[in-house]
Structure 1
Amino acid sequence: MASTTQPAKTAETAQKTAPAPSKQRNMVIAKVVAILAVTLILYFMPVPEGVDPRGMHMAGIFAGTILGLILQPLPTASVALIGLAAAMMTGTMAAKNEALTGFGSSTIWLIVAAFFIADGFLLTGLGRRVALIFVSKLGKSSLGLAYGMALTDFVLSPATPSNTARAGGVVYPIVKSLAVVNNSEPTTDESRKRLGAYLSLTAVQVNTITAAMFVTAMAGNPLAVGFAEKQGVHITWGTWALGAIVPGLIALVVMPWVMMKLYPPTLRETPDAPAQARQQLKESGPMSRGEWIMLVTFVLLLALWILGSTLKIDATSAAFFGIALLLVTKVLTWSDIAKNSGAWSTLIFFSVLVAMAEHLNTLGVIGWIGTSVSNLVGGLPWAVAFVILFLVYFYVHYLFASNTAQIVAMYAVFLSAAIATGAPPLFAALMLGFAGNLIGGLTHYASGPAGVVFGSGYVPTSEWFKTSFLASLVNVLIFGVIGTGWLMLIGLWR
């Protein structure tokens, strides 16, 4: 009996588990069909007036690539390369001067450099030491750690025009170290959800807020100020900062708590962590040669990023100078750089998306979208029209791989449309300016900081889209309601 029953159970179990591969295969097929359907529908749409004949082809391939990144029938970099191949083979993008332009983007290479700088923190142990210091001061809870990162980002933001440098070169290495110290790595769901996923995604959302608070906190903000000036709206550094300070500070206080509710870590309370951290710091002894070199390099990089506009040194050049110092002093080796798969994968998928987004603008697709939207709200009361314009400007960023790219493509169009409906020009210019930063966390390709954090592997695509959309609603409410009231109160409503 026993000998015949056991095989029967095994066979029954096998029958129950057998459909799993088939079900998984069917899911992949369904995803591919959906991607192809969206791509082909847009690809063969009639070309609107003012749009290049290749425009809708590019829109279809771009939309299909984005959907592929969301559904992920294949890994991220693979989807991006397939989309790029489709664009080149159909003649939608020329290989020589269109398809590969994203690989020459200094912002993308700054993201890649940030990965290697983070490696320096981890390999030397300096990141662990800094993390232990943070834990010893704020480590009684995961929420306290998140507020520590938020404070760091806020203090640096007025003097760091590159939000990617700030998030990727300063905050991200500390977040990664804090996660690793607390046994949270992107190797398994259980491990990443322990702390790293929460801190990583919260850092991105916080960065969008600090970038919105100062003209000098994000590279695209001065462009917005320039576009506004051309339409007769004068915005000074002080005007922007005064307009953003109240909604910005409230958002900074609220966001880590909101993320704790939306995307909670499994590690909530760590009452013994401060004492343990102090003990580990004591056991670590004095700083090593590698740690000192990493610290000096880090301080030098921070100075170059802050003073970059004065010294005429851009953030990417400074980052590669820092990497060169780490290589010369053998704190990093080429082997360390070569095996950082996250950095190279990020280079591929982000370069492809940036090139596609820029090409959409060149072909007139983005301009057509902006013009169509402005025409739709022409007869509405200005307050209603502005709310619609603001929300469209905010969420159209799902089509962009860069804050700055969207500002260049659409800020002037939407500001002009808002003013035409009767919206107070300064109010409209500031609110759209703030939005141009808050959009940076919507997707894993929405901005440089998002690219850095996504490459770490802590936050899967599906979780990123869902959580970041909900977080964006919080920012929209804070800046839309409290921000509007504040601008009215201080007389920036004109």
Structure 2
Amino acid sequence: MPNGHLNIKEASGILVTKINYKKFISPIVVALIIWLATPLRPESVSIVAWHMLAIFVATIIGCITQPLPIGAVAIIGFTITVITHEVNIDTAVAGFGNNSIWLVAMAFFISRGFIKTGLGRRIALGFVRIFGKKTLGLAYSLIGVDLILAPATPSNTARAGGIMYPIINSLSRSFGSSPDDNTQRKVGSFLTFAEFHGNMITAAMFLTAMAGNPLAQSLAKSSHINITWMGWFLAALVPGIISLILVPFIIYKLYPPEIKETPNAKDWADEQLAKMGKMSLSEKFMAGIFVVALLLWVLGGTLNIDSTLTAFIALSLLLLTGVLSWSDILQEKGAWNTLTWFSILVMMANELNVLGFIPWLSKAIATSVHGLSWPLVLVILILFYFYSHYLFASATAHVSAMYSALLGVAVAAGVPPLLGALLLGFFGNLFASTTHYSNGPAPILFSAGYVSQKDWWKLNAILGPVYLIVWLGLGSLWMKLCGVY
């Protein structure tokens, strides 16, 4: 086994997969260190919670080093979790029933309809005709669509996966940019990553733009702090606009597309649209079903229709009209892959909360900041809230686990209540600038293959401090002017 790899060889006609076993060393070593440190754990943390931490951290490291694909690493982590009795099999398997994760998978299937029918290409060409002179301008226009939809779309996953991703994917392929042939850096990588951040910013700007925001509002109310829709929007307006302008430009400089200008884009788009001819029946079905899905996502709260149910309705209609076949669904490997690894990571993260590790961590930070000035406490809490998201695979789960505890610490330290409540609410979205599993949109856009895991983590590591400066720094000054405190 040279270089720590198992060579591909034929045994009884079966090929043995090449595996880099050296990449297992880091996760195993870290897991053993944490596991063997069990006698040194805090008294309030149970043995099971500590062991769960060891497995979770090792799984995350394995997802980074990738001795096997992420899905395979997650399956191994899942198996170890159950074998060691940290979680029983019924609880572990129940993680695959998470409705938000199924929404992610449904978004992949809906996007296949856009590609198969050609409707996504037609929409993409329309964007090229209007905004196609420069790639940066195209990114701003796509994010502008997200901004318009955000206030009325309480699922940022639905917005990114069901609405924006299919357009970006088709648009990128129209420019000859695809991860399938290693041409993703032409335009696809930039547009995909810019949309991820644009979606995250718009989610932070409106109380109704992400499922965790109303939860934060409810938790704040239980602490006698009232956050209104307009109050949230006004407080987020200036840092939000600054971020929407600044962040895509920073991404453009740090992660530039190979194609920066397309002076003949309009003529080319006109020519391509002429070749496509009139809309086919399948395109019309796809467009109609898309409008139905969009309306149900926008009006879901009023009609009491869950976002995931809407996605299932859309997929059912696509199957009934023949736009998609069951074979198309089975062949959508990205959806099934994401459903597997994302479900497992969310299950592990939720168990860390249920078993008491996350509550202990929240109380520990409260004790450590006692006696400090409130501005310093606020900075420490936001930094902790932001970077602890590496332990979470769901923004809503993180808000649920830590928002109340950190808000209580902030208020006790003298932080103006509404200021603390709003900033924690905003960062309940912005901390997604960490990992490729940080929130619902992340695995959709990451699994498309346009942005490598290394680039995703590296760029987010750079952009994280930008959000801290804009929202915690300039945002606090703006809220002072607004009379929040």
Question: What's the TM-score, normalizing by structure 2?
Answer: 0.95
Instruction: Tell me, in whole angstroms, the C-alpha distance in 1 between the residues paired with 2:22 and 2:118.
Output: 46
1:22 aligns with 2:16: no
Per-residue displacement from partner, 1:102-151 (whole Å, max 9, x unpaired)?
20100000000000000000000000000000011111121111111110
SS at match of 1:440: coil
Measured after TM superposition, the shift of residue 49 of structure 1 is 3.0
Give the superposed CA RMSD.
1.5
Code of the residue aligned with 1:22 in structure 2: it is: N
In the TM superposition, 1:253-332 aligns within 5 A as 253-332=245-324
1:176 aligns with 2:169: yes
**1:153 — aligned with what?**
146
**1:57 — aligned with what?**
51
Contact 1:441/1:450 (<8 A) preserved: no
Instruction: Tell me, in whole angstroms, the C-alpha distance in 2 between the residues paired with 1:205 and 1:39.
Output: 32
**2:25 — aligned with what?**
33
Instruction: Tell me, in whole angstroms, the C-alpha distance in 2 between the residues paired with 1:154 and 1:142.
Output: 18
- Structure 1 stretches of 5 or more lacking a match? 1-18
Per-residue displacement from partner, 1:12-69 (whole Å, max 9, x unpaired)?
xxxxxxx9x6276799444311111111122233342333320010000000000111
**1:385 — aligned with what?**
377
- Structure 2 stretches of 5 or more lacking a match? 8-18
Contact 1:69/1:461 (<8 A) preserved: no
**2:14 — aligned with what?**
none
1:434 aligns with 2:426: yes
Query: Greater CA deviation, 247-256 or 153-162?
Result: 247-256
Contact 2:146/2:202 (<8 A) preserved: yes
Query: Greater CA deviation, 39-48 or 364-373?
Result: 39-48
Instruction: Tell me, in whole angstroms, the C-alpha distance in 2 between the residues paired with 1:439 and 1:207.
Output: 13
Q: Aligned to 2:81, which of 84, 87, 112? A: 87
**2:119 — aligned with what?**
126
Q: Which runs of 4+ in 1 moved over 6 A?
A: 23-27
Question: What is the aligned residue count?
Answer: 472
In the TM superposition, 1:136-285 aligns within 5 A as 136-189=129-182, 191-285=183-277
Instruction: Tell me, in whole angstroms, the C-alpha distance in 1 between the residues paired with 2:275 and 2:20.
Output: 51
Contact 2:4/2:21 (<8 A) preserved: no
Structure ID, larger Rg: 1
Instruction: Tell me, in whole angstroms, the C-alpha distance in 2 between the residues paired with 1:100 and 1:258.
Output: 41
1:76 aligns with 2:57: no
Contact 2:22/2:67 (<8 A) preserved: no
Measured after TM superposition, the shift of residue 88 of structure 1 is 0.7
Query: Greater CA deviation, 459-468 or 215-224?
Result: 459-468
Instruction: Tell me, in whole angstroms, the C-alpha distance in 2 between the residues paired with 1:102 and 1:202.
Output: 30
**2:477 — aligned with what?**
485
Contact 1:205/1:471 (<8 A) preserved: no
SS at match of 2:184: helix
**1:422 — aligned with what?**
414
**1:10 — aligned with what?**
none
Contact 2:150/2:209 (<8 A) preserved: yes
1:346 aligns with 2:327: no
**Percent identity over the alignment?**
47
Instruction: Tell me, in whole angstroms, the C-alpha distance in 2 between the residues paired with 1:363 and 1:254.
Output: 40
Instruction: Tell me, in whole angstroms, the C-alpha distance in 2 between the residues paired with 1:264 and 1:39.
Output: 37
Instruction: Tell me, in whole angstroms, the C-alpha distance in 1 between the residues paired with 2:157 and 2:63.
Output: 22
Instruction: Tell me, in whole angstroms, the C-alpha distance in 1 between the residues paired with 2:213 and 2:94.
Output: 23
Q: Aligned to 2:104, which of 85, 108, 111? A: 111
Instruction: Tell me, in whole angstroms, the C-alpha distance in 1 between the residues paired with 2:376 and 2:316.
Output: 53
Measured after TM superposition, the shift of residue 270 of structure 1 is 1.3
Instruction: Tell me, in whole angstroms, the C-alpha distance in 2 between the residues paired with 1:473 and 1:30.
Output: 33
